[in-house]
Amino acid sequence: MERISLWLNRHSMYLALLAAWTALCGSLYFSEVRGYVPCVLCWYQRILMYPLSAVIAVGLLRRDPHLPYYVLPLSLYGLGMSTYHYLLEKTDLFAGAAACSQGVACTTQWINWFGFVTIPFLALVAFLIVTLMSVIALLQGEPAAEDGAGSSLRAPWLPVGGSIAAVLGIFAVLFLSGEPIASAAVQPSPFPTLVLAPPQVEAEPVSEGGRGEQLYLQACAACHGVDGQGVANLGNRLRGSDFLAAATDAEVLAVTRQGRELNDPANTSGLVMPPSGGRPDLSDADLLAILQYLRQP
């Protein structure tokens, strides 16, 4: 344990470097390969994480003993931002928040691995690692301006360059292949195949300003427009669409639960629609209430 502790003390900022570069490449993979459109809070987290990948690398190359002081303000702010975003996704603590009033809703869950791992959760973990490693480095006086004779860190460009190259190599394979990262999420089957019909749920009567409209405004309006007529370069028109006119409630519910990938032949938007519209917390009754609202003339 003592040797592990000593190694961690001397290499903490290299672990922070790995976390920052993994987060950087991972965010680009999700948006540029998987087609997941970042929300406003996602962009804020990128603004804080992307500079860290360069700041940590340069600080290690220069063996700057003040490096943790440069990193901690960004990582702590990012930790708070990602925690807020995750709570916004998974709880009702900030139900009245006005974040992401335009564009993709901040409550959209593009991934939901194991029922709790979302993109903000991954960002939270990355910021947490960077923060903890920076605190350890700060307490231990690392990175030291000079190392003892024979130290493996006298040529810091080797571990810095190697760490960055390793992360870039892994994500280069993912970028070139376009394959999704393995997850516990159920992979959607190609549309229009509907393997199982969803359970029949009786939709509640919907009136103007009713439950269906409220749910639509909370979960769908950011991408598909307040009036359901779509948003340019974001979400297709829903109200009065040919698909809603031709499909049964069961078919629409199944497709919504399944989502639509970029390679889906029925995807005409050029963007991904996440399973359940990015809201796995919505029940079948909730989705059918939204559907009944959209079917109103």
The CATH number that domain 2-177 falls under is 1.20.1550
Each domain of the chain, given as residue ranges in start order, spans: 2-177, 211-295
pLDDT at 77: 97
Question: Which CATH superfamily includes the segment(s) 211-295?
Answer: Cytochrome c-like domain (1.10.760.10)
- Contact indicator for 18, 167 with CB cutoff of 8 Å: yes
pLDDT at 98: 60
pLDDT at 165: 94
pLDDT at 46: 97
pLDDT at 188: 40
First to last CA, the chain: 69
d(CA 15, CA 253): 44
Residue 195 to residues 92, 187, 250, 254, Cα–Cα distance (Å): 33, 13, 12, 9
pLDDT at 125: 98
Q: Which residues of the chain have pLDDT under 70?
A: 1-2, 96-102, 145-154, 178-209
pLDDT at 97: 66
